[in-house]
Chain A
């Protein structure tokens, strides 16, 4: 196909797409208007019913906790899939890896730049605090287990940049990550079953709602599910990063 024909095709399809797009915009409500009936209802009932002042968290970990559970399952399956493909398993270990496990092995720091090391060392503590805060305050303000979990997962990576892959593997040992990501998912499921056993339905909020809305220890199941998500997401993400860090270690040892 010649360039000219291609351009003709491009402009023709852009014209049709553009017309359809503009046509679809005509009937939209103006920006900021047109709140759905479901949103109106939640804004009325969510805070008195769940004591969670962040209505988004009340939906994701409360009314639609089952959806969040399925998302957790997707993440879990993805992490397991990546680890099966990327990580070398015990029967595939070579001499360098056995050498690596030796306790007397001492390696230099991973980053050559002092500026990078100073900056990442300073950021590690801040990220830890921000991650824990975001994870624990999801029910009162924007945030929650997912966002906090990823911020927390970045902390071992900062340590890796500031110190060495060995230090990374010491603060985030692989068995701990494996247990934590399974336990996070099991805790989520267990909280759901608690609703089925002591309440009316799976993921029924049967836990004490706390003294008042906007208190950090409030909203029952929503806080607990958020914390379970934190464990699951942070462990899963660090586990993904570990497969790359192991590779870096192996390369340094074979140098």
Chain B
């Protein structure tokens, strides 16, 4: 009889997805792209927690890793870009 606690194909698959997702985040150099990649990575990580039977952790990971953190990074990048634009405009019209 098969051991009910043995690792399943779904779990192995989710671990591979996490590995690829992490590589994707590290290899994207543009911060905006990286934030989007990190959001996807957060989603994959939440999926992994879920297939490893930790639904509470999975939900926390989903809201923080896939929603809150990428959002904060994107908003900060937007703010920094807007500040640069404003500086450039001020320099043009003294």
List residues of chain A with CB under 8 Å of any chain B CB: 30-33, 54, 56-57, 134, 142-144, 146-147, 150-151, 154, 157, 237, 240-241, 244, 247, 251
Q: Is the CB of A251 within 8 A of B82?
A: yes
Interface assignment of B59: CB less than 8 Å from any CB of chain A: yes
Segment of B26-34, B36-44, B67-75 in the binding face? B67-75
Known contacts A57-B56, A144-B56, A241-B75; is A150 also within 8 Å of B5 by CB? no
Q: Is the CB of A31 within 8 A of B68?
A: no
List residues of chain B with CB under 8 Å of any chain A CB: 5-7, 11, 55-56, 58-60, 62-64, 67-68, 71-72, 75, 78-79, 82, 86
| Interface SS of chain B | helix
- Chain A to chain B contacts (Cβ below 8 Å), 6 pairs: A31-B11, A134-B59, A147-B59, A147-B62, A150-B67, A241-B75
Q: Is the CB of A244 within 8 A of B79?
A: yes
Residue ID in chain A nearest B63 by CB atoms = A150
Q: Is the CB of A244 within 8 A of B67?
A: no
| Interface SS of chain A | helix
Residues of B within 8 A of A146 (CB): 60, 63
Known contacts A146-B60, A151-B63, A244-B78; is A33 also within 8 Å of B5 by CB? yes
Inter-chain CA distance A240–B64, complex, in Å, is: 14
What is the distance, in angstroms, from A26's C-beta to the closest C-beta of chain B?
A: 17
What is the distance, in angstroms, from B16's C-beta to the closest C-beta of chain A?
A: 15
What is the distance, in angstroms, from B69's C-beta to the closest C-beta of chain A?
A: 11
